[in-house]
Amino acid sequence: MRLSHLSPSRRRFVQQMAFASATLATPGLMAEELIKTPPLTEGPFYPDRMPLDTDNDLLVISDKTDLAIGTVTHLTGRILSSSGEPIRNALVEIWQCDNNGAYLHTRSSNAEKRDTSFQGYGRFLTDQKGQYYFRTIKPVAYPGRTPHIHYKVTKGNQHLLTTQMLIKGDARNEKDGIFRVIKEAKIRDSLMAEFKAIEKSKIGELAANWDVVLGVTPDERRS
């Protein structure tokens, strides 16, 4: 992620949070235990118009002072190869609806109620350890879908994966038409992340860590 377009204060914030993500990430599994993250549909609401800001802080647009409505969540994780190697310089894109169930898309339902302080979309370039970090809101449900966050991973001009992350333990997952088609328990579990309360947070912040395990990376395709 390029930070040159940010103000000094925003730049310091993003750098500090990216560094903090290392302390929130959990140790990786052994390669033989890795479950490849399955692809899930991109859906119809990938932004058809990008926000003014596309960095990894979805709660503030540019240097506005208003924060988005929702439960503040620090979302971390790693992009890994099928053998457990970190994928550096992978572009991670996420997008999700706001606290009112509205996407940053002209055909989204509840568009008239969209939270204009919520960025709705962000991207981050993974570091040497394959790590990414976003500050966003805890995803919410809307008619027909359980709470989820969309992910797309690319490297250079290679598309690697499009999928979705769900909240572990949310009862609405079992009624979700997209999630229900996956039958194997281990694969289902690989699509979910725990959202845990951050101790001593005065505003009830959450932390969630979710690793993405790719099938075949660009380097593996060339071998």
What mean pLDDT, rounded, does the chain reach? 87
CA distances from residue 211 to 73, 118, 133, 148, 171 in whole angstroms, order as listed = 16, 24, 11, 15, 22
In the numeric block, the tokens 């960025």 are attached to: 119
DSSP for 125-191, please give it: E--TT-EEEEEEE----BTTB-SEEEEEEEETTEEEEEEEEEETT-GGGGG-HHHHT---HHHHHHT
Query: For residue 223, what pLDDT band results from cuts at 50, 70 and 90?
Result: very low
Q: Is the pLDDT reported for residue 222 higher than 80? A: no
Higher-confidence position of 31 and 202 = 202
Q: 141-198: per-residue pLDDT in tens?
A: 999 999 999 999 999 999 999 999 999 999 999 999 999 999 999 999 999 999 999 9
Q: 182-204: per-residue pLDDT in tens?
A: 999 999 999 999 999 999 999 99
Q: Is the pLDDT reported for residue 91 higher than 90? A: yes
Q: CA 178, CA 215: separation in Å to the nearest integer?
A: 20
β-strands 131-137, 121-125 pairing: unpaired
Q: Is the pLDDT reported for residue 116 higher than 90? A: yes
Task: Give the model's pLDDT for residue 24.
Answer: 45
In the numeric block, the tokens 């994966």 are attached to: 161
User: Which CATH fold topology does 8-211 show?
Assistant: Protocatechuate 3,4-Dioxygenase, subunit A (2.60.130)
Q: Is the pLDDT reported for residue 33 higher than 80? A: no
What average pLDDT does range 99-125 have in this prediction? 94
Nearest residue to 121 (alpha-carbon basis) of 136, 143, 106, 132: 136
Task: Give the model's pLDDT for residue 65.
Answer: 83
Residue boundaries of the structural domains of the chain: 8-211
Q: Enter the pTM of the model.
A: 0.84
Q: Where is 76: in which H helix or E strand?
A: strand 72-80
**Would you state the structure tokens that stand for residue 90, as one six-digit string?**
């992978």
Task: Give the model's pLDDT for residue 216.
Answer: 59
Query: For residue 32, what pLDDT band results from cuts at 50, 70 and 90?
Result: low
Q: Is the pLDDT reported for residue 25 higher than 60? A: no
Q: Is the pLDDT reported for residue 12 higher than 50? A: no
Nearest residue to 195 (alpha-carbon basis) of 107, 71, 12, 96: 71
Task: Give the model's pLDDT for residue 51.
Answer: 87
What average pLDDT does range 110-115 have in this prediction? 90
Query: For residue 2, what pLDDT band results from cuts at 50, 70 and 90?
Result: very low
